[in-house]
Amino acid sequence: MTETVKLAGLAHSKLRNAIGFVGIEANPMEGTINVKLAKHWDRKDINSVAPDVAEMYNKFNWTNTIVDLAVGEGLLATMRRKSIPMRVIFIKNKVTDVTEIRRVKQMDLIDMVQYMLQLKLAHKIKFPIKPTPSMQVLEDQTALYAEHSTEAGGIKYYAPGDEMDDLIKALITVSFACRPFLQDSVEIIAGPVRPKRVTIFDVAEANQPKIRKRKNVIHGI
Given a contact cutoff of 8 angstroms between Cβ atoms, the answer to whether 142 and 134 are in contact is: no
Q: Which of 134, 133, 117, 113 is CA-nearest to residue 125?
A: 117
Domain that holds residue 34: 5-220
Phi, psi for 172 (deg, rounded to 5): -60, -40
The HSE-up count of residue 94 (CA atoms within 13 Å, CB side) is: 2
Give residue-wise pLDDT tens across range 153-205: 777 777 887 888 999 999 999 999 988 888 655 444 433 334 444 443 333 33
Per-residue tens of pLDDT for the chain, all 221 residues: 568 999 999 999 887 789 999 999 999 988 899 999 999 999 899 999 999 999 999 999 999 999 988 888 999 999 999 999 999 988 766 555 556 555 556 677 788 888 888 898 899 999 999 999 999 999 999 888 887 777 777 777 778 878 889 999 999 999 999 888 886 554 444 333 344 444 433 333 333 333 333 333 333 44
What per-residue confidence (pLDDT) applies to 96?
Answer: 53
What is the model's pTM? 0.78
Given a contact cutoff of 8 angstroms between Cβ atoms, the answer to whether 60 and 48 are in contact is: no
What is the CATH number for 70? Answer: 3.30.420.240
- Name the domain count of the chain: 1
Beta pairing partners, 21: 10, 39
Given a contact cutoff of 8 angstroms between Cβ atoms, the answer to whether 65 and 84 are in contact is: yes
3-class secondary structure, 79: helix
SS (H, E, C) 156-188: EEECCCCCCCHHHHHHHHHHHHCHHHHCCCCHH
